[in-house]
Chains A and B, each alone.
Chain A
Amino acid sequence: MEEPAVSDNQETLDRIREVVTTHPVVLFMKGSPTFPQCGFSAQAVQVLEGYGIEFKAVDVLSDPLVRQGVKEYSNWPTVPQLYVGGEFVGGSDILVEMHQSGELAPLLQKAGVGQPEADR
């Protein structure tokens, strides 16, 4: 795989910022919610889908610039990455912990996605 050019970097970071600030809940993951390509991503999807909320899923496998960029954007070395209300919340471990402790529900509600959605 080619290394992204330095000049692409800022544009990618801007694109990431745009996505996370225009969607209340964004999950950068490997694969898609219907076909996750890694166990950690699958776990993150499972937790979010359990809340029946609408979320934006970005498949980093289909965009090497975003795959690298999202790690720089959040200063976090791995994917999946969850953003709520424009803020990085964590990876799948953190997501699961917050779900189990009951912290995730109010966070999602505050972002305005507390309402259950019909199947995507």
Chain B
Amino acid sequence: MPSVTEIERRLRDLPADHVEVQDLTGGGDHFKAVVVSRAFEGKTRIQQHQLVYGVLGEAMKGAIHALSLRTFTPEQWETTTG
């Protein structure tokens, strides 16, 4: 199973303005990721998530199944975090 650091590193390649990854169980079987990126602008949630799956790549197939994902454009993130 990939580490939080590995996942974060790949997600930053989107490119992402902000990435937060947590291993919810500590066992590498349920990760939570928040990703903020300009690359998400103008895209549906499905397309945004597919972008993320794309940068995670083949090596991360296992992690994809264990990933809870929240995606935000920079504007949406501003609104969320105030």
- Return chain B residues, CB-CB under 8 Å to A69: none
* Shortest Cβ gap from B78 to chain A (Å): 16
B68 to chain A: which residues have CB within 8 Å? 40, 92-93
Partner among B45, B50, B53, B61 whose Cβ is within 8 Å of the Cβ of A97: B45
CB–CB B70/A97 < 8 A: yes
Within 8 Å of chain A (Cβ to Cβ): is B55?
no
B residues in contact with A94, CB < 8 Å = 45-46, 49
Instruction: A93 to B70: give the CA distance in the assembly, Å.
Output: 7
Contacting A77 at CB < 8 Å: which of B30, B45, B64, B70? B64
A98 proximity list for chain B (CB < 8 A): 45
The interface size bin for chain B is 10 to 19
Report whether A77 and B61 are in contact in the complex, using a CB–CB cutoff of 8 Å. Answer: yes
**Chain A residues within 8 Å of B50, by CB:** 75-76
Give which listed residue, B45, B53, B64, B70, contacts A90 with CB less than 8 A.
B45
Residue in contact with A78 in the complex, picked from B30, B45, B64, CB distance below 8 Å:
B64
Residues on B with C-beta less than 8 A from A116 are none
User: In the complex, which residues of chain B have a beta carbon less than 8 angstroms from the beta carbon of A77?
Assistant: 53, 61, 64-65
Cβ of B46 and Cβ of A88 under 8 Å apart?
Answer: yes
Chain B residues with CB under 8 A of A89: 46
CA distance A44 to B66 in the complex (A): 15
Would you call A91 an interface residue if the criterion is a C-beta within 8 Å of the partner chain's C-beta atoms? yes
Determine which residue in A40, A77, A88, A98 has the highest number of CB atoms from chain B within 10 A of its CB, and name it: A77
Taking a contact as CB atoms closer than 8 A, the residue among A78, A88, A90 that contacts B65 in the complex is A78
